[in-house]
Amino acid sequence: MQIKRGIPVSPGVAIHRVVVLDAEDQPIPRRVVPAAMLDHELKRLDDALAESTREIEQMRDQTVASLGKLADIFSAHVAMINDPTVLNQAREMIRNEHVTAEFAIYHTFNRLIGQFRSQSIKSMRDRATDVLDLQRRILGHLIGQARADLSHLTQPSVIVAHDLTPSQTASLDKSKIKAIATDAGGSTSHTAILAHALGIPAVVGLEDVTDQLNSGVTVIVDGNRGLLVIDPDAEMLMEYRAEERRMAAFEDTLIELKQLPARTRDGQNIELLANIEFPDEIADALGKGAVGIGLYRTEFLYLAAETEPTEQQQYEAYCQAITSLKGRPLTIRTLDLGADKLAPVSPALIYSASERNPFLGCRSIRLCLQNLPLFKTQLRAILRASTEGPVKIMFPLISNIMELRQAKMILSDVMEDLDEQEIKFDRDIPVGIMIEVPSVALQAKVFVSEAAFFSIGTNDLIQYTVAVDRGNERIASLYSGAHPAVIQLIKEVVRAANKAHLPVSLCGEMAGSPEFTMLLLGLGLRSLSITPPAIPEVKKIIRSVSIEQCQRLARKVAGFDSDREVLSYLRGEVRKVIPEAFDGRSLEL
């Protein structure tokens, strides 16, 4: 038995066998496969080599006219990929050492790369780059095959990976995934957001867990304490089975709140909305007690597709969401692509994928404003669907007033086009912004006359305020919504919105964390949009406190100067209200 500690990002406990998902840009761990699977591994290798050869030959044929003799580089790659000397070494390694095809290629090619790099002749050393390129191509196909298998899991499993990209998470079989554990990531990485949305335990920032696990090993994922227990003994299993029963009993008490309003003890109604990626999540959100959708992340229509979604496909998805809500509100966020959310089906992202600092580059509204056909297609689909029910449009990552004005101008152009074509739409559709950049939070009063509503996106707001990459496990401890500067920015935005009688909500992961509920109410927020599984617990806290009590808490927090002090105080106050909220985090190992 081995216990590894990471960062807890989604609560709960799961006990299942693991499926390990490798990444071609990370070291491939040595994993042993049963003898009965050796023929399968050899076939996977042959299939990957054949597909790589086909790709290289296609590239050679397509570039021969423009590159002339330089296209012979690809011919050299074809010759190398068919060299029996190297590939037979990989095949023998699979047969004799019972390793996976990807490890055999990784190990064999690394040895060849080392041989080239040690040569005294520069032209020979340069060949190492060609071998590395070929290795990555073959590994891409091998690992891609493994990912395809993951989309058809046959039994409940724990996914273990270095990290999960948004496009990977969008394609996984979510009905079979019971927990997630990753080497990398932080509290608001996309892995964390996915786990919250699924309502499953997750631990990230484990650093090297993929090196230490083979698929099929039984593990315990403890999303309350940030632990991964590898190959647990009988005593540990019994202890965690008991914990599962305790947590299930607590969940049962929350189910009773489904039909009750989110109303404080002194009668203040709080709007609890849900965050979704796909329309088919709405039924579960309403089942958990959501009164609408405060954040529809439309970029997942791209991330989960093999081709760029057409206007009609987007229109049908939006109509499905509106119909499912039966008159309840829906806020559609326009495409938040770029940074780490790259959709290879979109030509607009070719440049974004190669940026040195994509989180500060051409992403979200910037990407849309520089790719008007992409942007207008989505706006047309939203406007056409707006006749089916109440819809709001929300622009992400606005950083200055001119971006908002330009986006609204393009929306007006699309409306004119629809008018000319005599296509109906809601002419009074509300248009708001996400506040997730400090420059806009500090200037919130400037935007109140230009936006119909605000939605505070704390995931990026925290990242940009404290200068911490929210997906970097090495500095994850520095990423905190409890940072006094973050709290001050939220306070200023809410104050500006309330003074102008402008609707304001908060839609980041911070809204679904029970330790922050009382603080957010005390700062003046009356609308929260969160992942559906978090709704019952947040509602229980709301129904257990008064606004005056929350305001006193917020005033107390204003006097603290560190995130640790803030977080410790907030958790202590929530324990006084509902001790069960953190009971599952108290088991000691």
Q: How many CB atoms lie within 10 A of CB 495?
A: 15
Tokens of 298: 């439309």
Tokens of 237: 């299993």
- 3-state class (DSSP) for residue 199: coil
Catalytic residue among 319, 362, 368, 507: 507
Dihedral sign for Cα 477, 483, 489, 491, please. Answer: positive
Q: What are the backbone dihedrals phi and psi of residue 394, each rounded to the nearest 5 degrees, phi first? A: -130, 125
Round to whole Å and give the CA distance between 127 and 129. 5
Tokens of 186: 């932080």
How would DSSP label each residue in 301-343?
HHHT-SSPPPHHHHHHHHHHHHHHHTT--EEEEPP--BTTB--
CB-facing half-sphere around the CA of 91: CA atoms within 13 A: 15
Q: What are the backbone dihedrals phi and psi of residue 552, each rounded to the nearest 5 degrees, phi first? A: -60, -40
Structural Rg of the chain based on CA atoms: 26
How distant, in Å, are the alpha carbons of 185, 332, 518 from that of 472?
5, 28, 28
Active site residue 362: no
Catalytic residue among 190, 319, 362, 368: 190
Active site residue 507: yes
Q: Strand order of the sheet with strand 202-204?
A: 2-5, 227-230, 218-222, 13-21, 157-161, 177-182, 202-204, 7-10
Question: Is 196 within 8 Å of 274 (Cβ atoms)?
Answer: no
Round to whole Å and give the CA distance between 21 and 1. 22
Give the active site residues: 190, 507
